[in-house]
Amino acid sequence: MSNQSVQTVSTSNDKIKVIAAIVVMIAGVVGFYYLADKPALVRAGALVAGLAFAVLILWTSTTGRDFLNFAKEAVRETKKVVWPTRREAGQITGIVFAFVLIMAIFLWGTDKTLEFLLYDVILGIRK
């Protein structure tokens, strides 16, 4: 059985559309900051309009459609995540803190033991 991957080649037209979408998105953000003296509703409108128009341009290109479908799938997958309850999160946090405390004590003890062996026993120097 052949397991060959199929690679799609984007046309220069798609590349131009993606670049245009990026330019429109940047224009929306620049417009938001350029209109600093205007009411917040006008500024937000410029930002949302730029982003919406960029999404519309992206939707017409193959690359953009693939990316937007990927984003939709990512959102769908995050909805499937089972989050821990408050009690479970507290228990896990307590276990992590206990482990960190035990490791800190262990490393401190190891450091002091090696310090004693190196300076007092082997070298015979003490500060």
CA 117 to CA 124: how far, in whole Å? 9
CA 59 to CA 38: how far, in whole Å? 31
> What local confidence, expressed as pLDDT, does residue 15 receive?
85
> What local confidence, expressed as pLDDT, does residue 17 receive?
87
Q: Mean pLDDT for each consecutive 10-residue tract of the chain (127 residues)?
A: 58 84 91 90 91 88 84 93 94 98 98 91 76
> What local confidence, expressed as pLDDT, does residue 114 receive?
94
> What local confidence, expressed as pLDDT, does residue 76 receive?
95
> What local confidence, expressed as pLDDT, does residue 4 receive?
64
| CB of 74 closer than 8 Å to CB of 80 | no
> What local confidence, expressed as pLDDT, does residue 74 receive?
95
Tracing tokens 């992206």 back to the chain, one arrives at: 58
pTM of the model: 0.49
Domain extents in the chain: 12-79, 83-127
